Amino acid sequence: MSSFRRSGTAFHEEDVALEHREPLDTRELFVWFAVHAVEGVEHAIPTSYSRTVMLPGGPAWFRVHDRGHGLRLHSRVTDPTDLPVLTARVRRLLALDADPVIVDRALSRVPELRPLVAARPGLRVVGSMDPEETLIRTLVGQQISLAAARTVLGARTREMGAPAPAFATGLTQMFPTARALAEHGEQFLRGPQARIRAVLGAARALISGELSLSPDDDAAQQRAALLALPGVGPWTADTVRMRVLKDPDVFLVDDGALRAGAARIGLPSEKRALTAWAQDAAPWRSCATTHLWGPLTPPSTFTESEQP
């Protein structure tokens, strides 16, 4: 670990290897991040993913990169005690402790999934860097395209997010906190009133303590708490459960993109029939969900340049 100062801001820096089980398709992960990236907060290219994040000791920045010599984590934090916290969160985000061989072997026993698994061995289910952020982003992304969600989240981040620290190379913003959304959301949030109420309600519940989200939550209790919020339905609650809790057996049958992917390979698109089919993929239905979404098309920003 090294300590530095940039533009008057002190930070602590570390570069470590990220051990993981093979296979791991890092490019597929970086494409996922590029498709979902919030401008100013995140940036992904074929060899790396970088973002800002708020940790207990203050703002931080990291870059996960793979340039043919293994996966590495380059991190900068305000408080050096946050370095292990950040490393643990990155490992959960990338699902680096998963055993892809076991999952692939199980899903390959499902005839319709076998060619998908063969095409993308070791596919990871992306986790969560920050549970509260994951909930807000999921709510904003309800019933709109990924591109539209990126546009909306980018605009709201510029309006309500704090500036990134000077050491956050190439990035400009922190994602808005629940408090910022609760205090300023009525001024800046746009779109259907039901979605605005859902985002504001979730933000206020988070800052009041009525709702707390953690990777250690009981799955049933977390789901019930989320469904009790206005405007939060099963798709949102289950998406959060899949990503925040790393629940391996979530099947997002209410997801339009999943049902479209199912139809492409000849599966029934009707919810009841598709849910019944998915029983064969248990207990790895989260990975089956990710396979059915299919390979994502990278945005135009997904270039070979290391700098955003």
Domain 12-95 has CATH 3.30.310.20: yes
Structure tokens at 164: 């990134």
Q: For 176-222, how does the pLDDT look when each residue is reduced to its tens digit (9 = 90+)? A: 999 999 999 999 998 889 999 999 999 999 999 999 999 999 999 99
Q: Cα–Cα distance between 233 and 120 in angstroms, integer?
A: 30
Would you say residue 67 has pLDDT above 90?
no
Query: Percent of the chain having pLDDT more than 90?
Result: 85
Structure tokens at 125: 């289910």
Q: Cα–Cα distance between 178 and 180 in angstroms, integer?
A: 6
Domain boundaries, the chain: 12-95
What is residue 269's predicted lDDT score, i.e. its pLDDT? 83
Q: Which residues contact 228 (CB under 8 A, 6 or more apart)?
A: none
Q: Cα–Cα distance between 274 and 109 in angstroms, integer?
A: 17
Q: Strand pairing of 42-45 and 48-55?
A: antiparallel
Q: Cα–Cα distance between 191 and 105 in angstroms, integer?
A: 43
| Local structure of 15: helix, strand or coil | strand
